[in-house]
Amino acid sequence: MHGYVIDQKLGRSEAPDAERTGRHIGIGLRRVPFDRKRFLEFWPRAVWHLETDGWHASHAALLALAEQCRADGVKVLLTGEGSDELFGGYRWQASTMRLWRHSWLQRLFRSKARRDRKFAELRRAPFRNSIGRGSPSERSMALRALSPELNFLQTKLFDRLDGVTPLDDRAFLASCFYDLYSHLQDLLHRHDRLSMAASVELRVPFLENRLID
């Protein structure tokens, strides 16, 4: 078994981190170079396969990686999609935890009524990236009405984890679960289209039922 990683020149490359991981688990890693020239080469085709604007550089990069795999005779790839959602790999998940974390001074000097009001306010938009974050409650409810399925799911997940303490851990875990329903859906759709464009099958072991259950 060997691995692939995009070695991008358009920002910070994850290739050195991936190579350290590869050495740790004993697999070789092939870097797929990706610079501005290659982005301009692959971007129009990525847009065509996605049938969207394909604005993010990672869209074209994934297509470049899939085509390199096909050229090397690789037919099946294992990808890490789902790991960030399950284990809290995104910055907004950590910031959600900070949003709910209260210092001992806050608990000491705030009245119970004030703490209850703050809890109710946060519960309506429990995550740092909630659509109603920082808005008055009326605006929050109006925004929820525009996308009720996902926006009401935030509070529902938070409430379902009632037994998890403290509150910052509860909000963090709910945020991770929420991303499985929202953010991850776009990633899987995009990766499926771009990998199949190169006739490469993409599998996601972190989303195995046995692992999630």
Tens digits of per-residue pLDDT, 67-106? 999 999 999 999 989 999 988 998 889 888 888 886 545 6
Can you give the pTM of this predicted structure? 0.75
Distance between CA 192 and CA 187 in Å, rounded? 8
pLDDT at 108: 59
Q: What is the pLDDT of residues 45-58, one digit of tens each?
A: 999 999 877 677 88
What is the torsional sign of CA 104, 105, 111, 113? negative
> For residue 164, which amino acid is it?
V
pLDDT at 97: 86
Q: Any idea where the domains of the chain sit in the sequence? A: 2-74+186-212, 89-181
pLDDT at 149: 67
pLDDT at 109: 64
Burial of 1 (0-12, 13-18, 19+ CB in 10 A): exposed
Distance between CA 34 and CA 62 in Å, rounded? 10
Which residue ranges of the chain lie beneath pLDDT 70? 54, 102-110, 124-125, 128-151
pLDDT at 103: 52
* Helix count and strand count (H, E) for the chain: 12, 4
